[in-house]
């Protein structure tokens, strides 16, 4: 049985990815930062082929412990899904140094060093999938620092795909648009005007579902995607076309 690590898998898009990969036959290591009950629920839904591991990717010691735990759980990590991330909606003049540092610690530094530390476990022909965002290809001053982190991950993906290509390891981004998750619930759910605005940002005129992003990740992690690397699979529903 193949093994996948999904970071930030307790809720939202990460939860959907973990469930989809389990459906596809993977044993799933479910990483979470704080909500142990949500992560354990994902493990319960998957069954015996899942384990929950707490680690805050913004804390280097946690990143190291997560990598060690993955190595304890498996000798081979077939798929790494770097999904964990935090977001904020602040323009340049409102962003704080503390907020900026936290964004880059989780979204970029944690992702970078976790990937480096588990890379010895990833076999030839393995898969790395990074969850970025549609904001990386548009001007989005409302969340400038967040957008910068996703741009950094895209550059990381491009370089790593080149480095690992000779081993047949593919490295790709999946870029969601506005998705119906708990993160967006505060400004979307129960607010028809906000929901209409969010939908209007997409050519399909609706917001996306976590399962729709999970489907794209599952493709990127599959044998069918063996000749796709160093690119972004846009899952924004035609965002800002």
Question: What structural domains does the chain harbor?
Answer: 3-179+212-235 (3.40.50.720)
Residue 224: Cβ-neighbour burial (10 angstroms; 0-12, 13-18, 19+): exposed
Per-residue confidence (pLDDT) for residue 116, from 0 to 100: 98
What radius of gyration, in Å, describes the C-alpha atoms of the chain?
17
Nearest to 142 by CA among 196, 197, 185, 191: 197
Q: What is the mean pLDDT of residues 91-116?
A: 98
Calculate ∠ Cα 185-153-14, nearest 5°.
40
Give the tens place of pLDDT for each residue, 73-95: 999 999 999 999 999 889 999 99
> CA-to-CA distance for 180 and 87, rounded, in angstroms?
15
Is 146 among the residues known to form the active site?
yes
DSSP tag of 123? P
Cα torsion angle, 185, 30, 163, 215, sign: negative
Query: Given a cut of 90, is residue 69 above it in pLDDT?
Result: yes
Cβ atoms < 10 Å from Cβ of 116: 12
Per-residue confidence (pLDDT) for residue 241, from 0 to 100: 93
Percent of the chain at pLDDT exceeding 90? 93
Starting at the edge strand found earlier in the chain, the sheet holding 232-235 runs 50-54, 27-32, 3-6, 79-82, 127-131, 170-176, 232-235
If pLDDT is split at 50, 70 and 90, which confidence band does 60 have?
Answer: very high
Give the tens place of pLDDT for each residue, 119-128: 999 999 999 9
Q: What is the mean pLDDT of residues 175-179?
A: 96
Residue pair 207/199 in contact by the 8 Å Cβ criterion = yes
Give the tens place of pLDDT for each residue, 147-167: 999 999 999 999 999 999 999
- The secondary structure element, H or E, covering residue 189 is none
> CA-to-CA distance for 9 and 43, rounded, in angstroms?
10
Give the tens place of pLDDT for each residue, 28-59: 999 999 999 999 999 999 999 999 999 999 99
Query: Given a cut of 90, is residue 111 above it in pLDDT?
Result: yes
If pLDDT is split at 50, 70 and 90, which confidence band does 15 have?
Answer: very high
Query: Given a cut of 80, is residue 237 above it in pLDDT?
Result: yes
Per-residue confidence (pLDDT) for residue 70, from 0 to 100: 98
Q: What is the mean pLDDT of the chain?
A: 96
Query: Given a cut of 90, is residue 184 above it in pLDDT?
Result: no
Cβ atoms < 10 Å from Cβ of 189: 11
Nearest to 135 by CA among 196, 85, 185, 193: 85
Query: Given a cut of 90, is residue 25 above it in pLDDT?
Result: yes
């Amino acid at each position: 049985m193949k093994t996948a690590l999904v970071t930030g898998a307790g809720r939202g898009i990460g939860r959907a990815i973990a469930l989809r990969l389990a459906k596809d036959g993977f044993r799933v290591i479910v990483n979470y930062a704080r909500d142990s009950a949500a992560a354990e629920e994902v493990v319960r839904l998957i069954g015996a082929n899942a384990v929950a591991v707490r680690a805050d990717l913004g804390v280097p010691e946690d990143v190291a412990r997560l990598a060690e735990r993955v190595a304890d759980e498996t000798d081979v990590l077939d798929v790494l899904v770097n999904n964990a991330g935090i977001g904020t909606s602040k323009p340049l003049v409102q962003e704080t140094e503390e907020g900026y540092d936290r964004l880059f610690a989780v979204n970029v530094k944690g992702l970078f060093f976790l990937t480096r530390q588990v890379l010895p476990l990833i076999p030839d022909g393995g898969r790395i999938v990074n969850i970025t965002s549609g904001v990386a290809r548009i001007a989005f001053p409302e969340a400038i620092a967040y957008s910068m982190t996703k741009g950094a991950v895209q550059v990381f993906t491009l370089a790593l795909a080149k480095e690992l290509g000779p081993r047949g390891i593919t490295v790709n981004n999946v870029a969601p648009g506005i998705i119906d998750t708990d993160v967006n619930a505060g400004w979307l759910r129960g607010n028809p005007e906000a929901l209409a605005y969010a939908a209007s940002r997409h050519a399909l005129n609706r917001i996306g579902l976590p399962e729709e992003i999970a489907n794209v990740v599952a493709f990127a992690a599959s044998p069918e995607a063996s000749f796709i690397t160093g690119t972004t699979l846009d899952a924004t529903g035609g965002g800002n076309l």
